[in-house]
Structure 1
């Protein structure tokens, strides 16, 4: 059978997430993000379209580099104001039976013990439909919000994250035995105390006694998402991630990114085919070419350059320069600020840069009729080797409705999209098959199912199979 497409709606609990400025469109519901009904209506719509889930992004700081402050982001509603993404999941779960939820949470600034309980609670309440998008946070303002003078370095954040996951696996996988909960009314025993363990983790960043406060949920460890592209991130993904949020500007770049992570997974003793790859996809679809062109024209006119530059944390206000100005004349060679715009060709002009960011049209952008969109998605699946998309929104709920009404039937006709959900499956089972509700046995976190491994120092267990053999 041909590979079927996995689809999450890409969301954030805010006004303007990725495509900026379109919140002013009269048909957009973004201003309703504070209302519970916005989220419950959206969840029911996505379940009608048999989406895999809703993927909720998050940041814990303001974008305040552009023009020297947060004013542009505030004026444009660009990811501020924003609300906690975890709190809306129970409401959406209550009005659905099958829709999954991928939620973003950072490992850098908040301790793991409380987060472990929150995620186990969500896994219970959703009956195993929750995933965690692991991030380490990157905004300087986020660091200041948690009492630091400046950001923790990129690679150090991943080192912290590695220990963070170690603590979580011990709590989720090791603290409670599979048959610890007995619910024996006759003998008045809910939990067998002999099968609940302290974890007694002592590491460089955390000291956690345990035991975990929650009884085992269906997945125990939620499905693990990660967005990455850096060397440290790829190393981390090879050890931990089950679904990768990635991308690339060309076929070669996408395939290279995918292969690098598969190689790392194998290096850590995992099945390299057990990792799923998602890309951020922009899909504008209409019944006719004329309808598509009308949408494109309208969206381009409403798109905000200011908000896009604020989102980029641009240290330069390119709107203040003539369009013919060469970018290399504005940014000195080797200037650190150029790193924030590394995907821009320094030989381009200011006008070309502004045109490029005026409207997102990268490798995973498609605009056309349902047939054209389906042709393009099939190419992404078969040539690029991706497994799914996080569907970027132009209008809420217009983007999702268009995809459900126009693209889904065409993909189904080609055998590329599920006809219905499998009742009762967890989110991990949806990606990897029935009977795979928990981490596979060859995943790093699974080793804590053996109580003896809770007693071992993390350094002894963090070695890949190849490194263990070399040490031996």
Structure 2
């Protein structure tokens, strides 16, 4: 049986997500991001194209490292202004039936008890079409605005995230038994109190007695995504993630990450096939090669190097305005870093330009040679990038048997891992918290 490719739309509730400067393109509708119709129209478009999910990135700080100022980021709309991604999902779920929603939420800035309730609520309202992209983000501007006095180092943020997920697992998987809600009108019992349990969590970072505020949702635990390629990030993914958003755009890099995470997963007693791997991809497609190249040149004209320098500075802490092109950051020269930023794909996303056949060939090659399961598709202009992909590339992938012709029924987890698999598998670490009444 031919392996089907999973496709997510990679988006953010802002003007400038990844392709900085492209908000100026005459065909771009990014300025409509504050209009709910923009998002419902996008959701319906993606479902028409049989996409798996809309993957929503997020950030809760301002990129203010470049030139030691926030001015470049603010002026060029580098992920600011940015609105809350969770607020969009209910409306998009209402106008779709199958499209799932993977939303980014950081374990650094808010308490797990409230977050667990929000995710359960969304899992209910979407009928089991919600996923959580777990990040351990750190931005100095965000730390200040959230009143964080003690800044955790990189690896300790993952320690906190481990405990954060433990709290959530206890609330989602164990606090309420499956048959706790009985709706017994005759005896005036909506929920059997004996089947709702405190979690009594006491840890280094959190004290949460419970119980969970929500009754069990269709998936209980949302599908868990993770995006972090550091040593600690890959270990975290191997322990928790069901889907991993990988960095890298060549076969060698992607294959290393895929093999490494799957190998690590075995240490936790997990079936490596219970983890789907996604790479980032940028697609510029035309009916002919010349048409695709015209689009490429059009996009390049609006590409903002300053915007990408601001984004890089916020993410890494390096202000490249202070360096010469011959200086090195790690093993790479500043000149090479800047040269990479001047290209439409940058460092981490595969850029595929050409006819539908050429794009499909390159996608198929990455899936077969690197062992990935799908892609997060980056937009240059909205909704044009997705429209082109749906009208031109999707039929080519379907013709090859590499892409669904129609959706299967079920929750998001079932669409990823098969009918009946609406809950986390028994080999996932969260499964140990299902009988919490006998463990506390």
Scaled by the length of structure 2, the TM-score of the pair is 0.96
Q: Give the CA deviation at 1:252.
A: 2.2
Residue of structure 2 in register with 1:395 after alignment: 381
* Conserved 8 A contact 1:174-1:454: no
**How far is 1:379 from its partner?**
0.3
Please give the root-mean-square deviation of Cα atoms over the aligned residues, in Å.
1.6
Pair 1:271-2:282 in alignment: no
Equivalent of 1:404, from 375, 390, 396? 390
Q: Secondary structure at the match of 2:34?
A: coil
User: Residue 358 of structure 1 corresponds to which residue in structure 2?
Assistant: 342
Show CA shifts across 1:199-240 (max 9, x none).
111111100111101000000000000002112112211111
* CA distance in structure 2 between the aligned counterparts of 1:125 and 1:49, rounded to whole angstroms: 23
Structure with higher Rg: it is: 1
Compute the displacement of 1:317 (Å). 4.5
Tell me, yes or no, if the aligned pair for 2:353 and 2:359 is still in contact at 8 Å.
yes
| CA 355–233 in structure 1, closer or farther in 2 if over 3 Å, else same | closer
**Corresponding position of 1:445:** 430
Find the counterpart in structure 2 of residue 367 from structure 1.
353
List aligned pairs for 1:190-205, cutoff 5 A. 190-205=190-205
CA contact (8 A) 1:144 1:150 kept: no
1:430 to 390, 415, 431: 415
Tell me the distance in 1 between the aligned counterparts of 2:279 and 2:438: 36
Q: Are the equivalent residues in 2 in contact too, given 1:143–1:152 (CA < 8 A)?
A: no
- Report Cα offsets for 1:241-265 as digits up to 9, x if no partner: 1000013253222111111111111
Task: Measure how far apart 1:454 and its partner are.
Answer: 3.9
- Kindly provide the CA deviation profile for residues 157-206 of structure 1, in whole angstroms up to 9, marking residues without a partner as x: 00000000010010000000011111122222111111110111111110
**TM-score, normalised to structure 1's length?**
0.89
Secondary structure of the structure 2 residue equivalent to 1:38: helix
- Match of 1:105, SS state, is strand
> C-alpha separation between the residues in 2 aligned to 1:111 and 1:353?
36
* Partner residue in 1 for 2:140: 140
Q: Is the 8 A contact 1:98 1:129 kept in 2?
A: yes
Unaligned segments of structure 1, at least 5 residues:
332-337, 456-472
Alignment correspondent of 2:362: 376
Q: Aligned partners of 1:212 and 1:358: how far apart in 2? A: 48
For residues 38-85 of structure 1, what are the alpha-carbon distances to aligned partners after superposition, in whole Å with 9 as ceiling and x for unaligned?
101100111111100100000111000001111000000110110011
Work out the CA distance in 1 between the residues paired with 2:437 and 2:13: 42
The equivalent of 2:111 in structure 1 is 111
Match of 1:51 in 2: 51
Give, in angstroms, the shift of residue 326 of structure 1: 4.2
* CA deviation vs aligned residue, 1:84-128 (integer Å, no higher than 9, x gap): 110100010111111100000011111100000000000000000
